[in-house]
Amino acid sequence: MKKPMKPPSLISLKKALSLDRAAIRELHKTYLNAGLVTMLSLLDFDRPFVRAQGVSVWDREGREYLDFLGGYGAVNLGHNHPKVLEAIEMARGMPNLLQASLGALPAALAHNLALITPGKLERSFFCNSGAEAVEGALKLARIATGRQGLIYCHNAFHGKTMGALSVTGREKYQDPFRPLIPHCNPVPFGDAEALEKALKPRQAAAFIVEPIQGEAGIILPPPGYLQKAWELCRHYGTLFIADEVQTGFGRTGYLFACEAEGVEPDIMCLAKSLGGGVMPIGCYITTDEVWKKAYGSLEKSLLHTSTFGGNAMACAAALAAIEAIFEENLVERARETGSYLMEGLQRLQERFPLLKEVRGRGLMVGVEFNPQAGLASKVTLGLADKLAKEYTASLVAGELLNRYGIITAYTLNNPNVIRLEPPLVVTREQVDRLLQALEDILERHRSFTSIAATGAKTVIRSLFRRR
């Protein structure tokens, strides 16, 4: 008889919860993304947080931080919303994954989404993330129309899986993985004339667009652009896909951002806050007409599936999240608090030339800075200049985190823009704390040489501390 296998030296959950900062960093360096560890460590962004509630998170020393990043739009309800946690507990004990059955919770969630989404959107497909929702939407458009072409916008961000990456408008992310999906053509965001030119050959299955470009630096379209784009798509037989992964569920002061112009998409992609900031869940929702063309027959019904899509706990979280958005009037709160935030930022912009532009809608706001060339410093051996040119917003974000306890981040396609996307439950008092912190930073650093030097000092301290 064989001896029982000796168990490996596993890290238990209890031990994992007690790991210190150095141990966490070392595990990430060895078993996850070492480059990311280096990036986060340089500006002290690698600190572990141990508790979160609403807009606040706490580190091991008990220091409270305000989360103005909000999971890139995934934490609209705030961290660990009690209604969402209660819903998951209610679903505990149900079969979470049982594919040879029809679940009650995905059925209820699909019904609710059909009620709250614009136009004739009716049939949902559940998955696990925004990128998966985009993948499914692109496939849906191709099979429903019989066309291959896909049109997207410069500087768009729709995800990093192969199909989503093919319609993500930044070469930095695309080039290492070419060849991508064929027949994907970019057009300038906000240019209806360029879009019509791309649509005229009638080869495009879909035009996919963010109602507000998030990773491009919180870029709003020109007034009337979305409606014109929607009308052009209808004229040329191309499906209009609204990517509301980041803008959906009240973020912009509308339940869905495309409603600002009365647009009724053929397909809408959802994720992030659909799971209440607790569970991963994504979805695309489409019209009955489009769905039937794509998957309406028995032989086509299993052409696109997801093992974890529509699992009970994720759907329970989503059901509770949607209820909470309405019960707590979060759409209106986002609109009102967002206006208050924008007004405060615009006052700062009038006083400080280093603020190039403030833009956004609701609680989806971008603050763009004026990076200045020629900031090289002998003290930092040119590091200050490099940081200012390439990581302007990161330097300000580092100041906000380390000195003021406010969590922010720059946008992926424009590193000079800080995104402000706090949970929609954020208060005016918490907004005031952010505004005061930014004012203090701008008062102390009248030129970006000073900010860059401060960031460089943080980098140098970090490097010495890790030796």
Catalytic (active site) residue 243: yes
In a domain, 4, yes or no: no
Distance between CA atoms of residues 34 and 330, nearest Å: 38
- Most confident option among 93-102, 161-170, 366-375: 161-170
Do 401 and 298 share a structural domain?
Answer: no
Q: Tell me which of 151-155, 295-299, 341-345, 450-454 is least confident.
A: 450-454
DSSP character string of 188-238: -TT-HHHHHHHHTTS-EEEEEE-SSBTTTTSBPPPTTHHHHHHHHHHHTT-
Average pLDDT of span 81-105: 94
Residues 178 and 145 in one domain: yes
Q: What is the pLDDT of residue 401?
A: 95
Task: Quote the pLDDT of residue 390.
Answer: 63
What is the full DSSP assignment across 24-90? Answer: HHHHHHHHS-HHHHHHHHHTT----EEEEEBTEEEETT--EEEESSHHHHT-TT-BT-HHHHHHHHH
How many separate helices (H) and strands (E) can be counted in the chain?
A: 18, 15
The closest of 128, 138, 117 to 294, measured between CA atoms, is 138
d(CA 328, CA 188): 37
Would you say residue 16 lies in a domain? Answer: no
Residues 191 and 174 placed together within one structural domain of the fold? yes
Q: How much is the average pLDDT of 306-310?
A: 95
What was the pLDDT predicted at 383? 55
Instruction: Report yes or no on 189 lying in a domain.
Output: yes
**Residue 373 scores a pLDDT above 50:** no
| pLDDT computed for residue 448 by the predictor | 57
pTM for the full model? 0.93
Q: Which of 68, 125, 157, 189 is catalytic?
A: 157
For residues 245 and 210, give the distance between their C-alpha atoms in angstroms, rounded to a whole number.
Answer: 9
CATH number at 228 reads 3.40.640.10
Q: On the CB side of 13, how many CA atoms lie within 13 Å of its CA?
A: 0
* Of residues 200, 261, 255, the one with CA closest to residue 230: 261
Q: Which residue has the tokens 């614009």?
A: 118
Q: Are 147 and 234 part of one and the same domain?
A: yes
The edge-to-edge listing of strands for the beta sheet with 406-407 is 49-53, 56-59, 64-67, 406-407
For the chain, what is the mean pLDDT? 91
**Total structural domains in the chain?**
2
Q: Which domain holds residue 291?
A: 82-327
pLDDT digits (tens, 9 = 90+) for 295-305: 999 999 999 99
Residue 12 included in any domain:
no
Chain-centre distance for alpha carbon 313: 22
Long-range contacts of 291-296 (CB under 8 A, 24+ apart): 291/122, 291/123, 291/140, 291/144, 293/143, 293/144, 293/145, 294/140, 294/143, 294/144, 295/140, 295/143
Looking at residues 237-252, what average pLDDT do you find?
A: 98
**7 lies in some domain:** no
Instruction: Give the mean pLDDT of 208-214.
Output: 98
Does residue 203 share a domain with residue 293?
yes
Domain boundary among 289, 309, 327: 327
Residue in the structure block whose two tokens are 């961290």: 79
408-158-193 Cα angle (round to 5): 110
The answer on 367 and 306 residing in a single domain is no
Instruction: Assess whether pLDDT exceeds 70 at residue 463.
Output: no
Q: Cα(98)–Cα(438) distance, rounded to whole angstroms?
A: 50
Do residues 92 and 70 share a domain? no
- Domain termination site, one of 299, 327, 355: 327
The reply to whether 56 and 89 lie within a common domain is no
Same domain (yes/no): 340, 408: yes
Residue 226 domain flag: yes
Strands 406-407 and 64-67: parallel
Condensed to tens digits (0 to 9), the pLDDT of residues 118-137 reads 999 999 999 999 999 999 99
Catalytic site includes residue 157: yes
Q: Using the structure block, give the residue that is written with the tokens 């497909």.
A: 125
Give the whole-number percent of the chain exceeding pLDDT 70: 90
Grade residue 450 by pLDDT with cuts at 50, 70 and 90.
Answer: low
pLDDT value at 460 more than 50: no
State the pLDDT at residue 388: 58
Question: Can you tell me the mean pLDDT for 427-456?
Answer: 81
pLDDT attached to residue 386: 58
Q: Which of 243, 256, 369, 448 is catalytic?
A: 243
Q: Is the pLDDT of residue 207 over 60?
A: yes
**Quick one: pLDDT at residue 45?**
83
In this structure, the answer to whether residues 210 and 320 fall within a common structural domain is yes
281 and 149: one domain? Answer: yes
Give the model's pLDDT for residue 153.
98
Strand partners, 368: 357, 417
Q: Of the residues 309, 327, 345, which one is the last residue of a structural domain? A: 327
Please check whether residues 341 and 261 belong to one and the same domain.
no
- Which of 139, 228, 272, 389 is the catalytic position? 272
pLDDT value, residue 376: 43
Specify if 383 maps to a domain. yes
Q: Find the Cα–Cα–Cα–Cα dihedral 88, 93, 98, 102, rounded to 10°.
A: -70
Residue 201 confidence (pLDDT) above 90: yes
What is the CATH classification number for the domain harbouring 399?
3.90.1150.10
Instruction: Tell me whether residue 353 is in a domain.
Output: yes
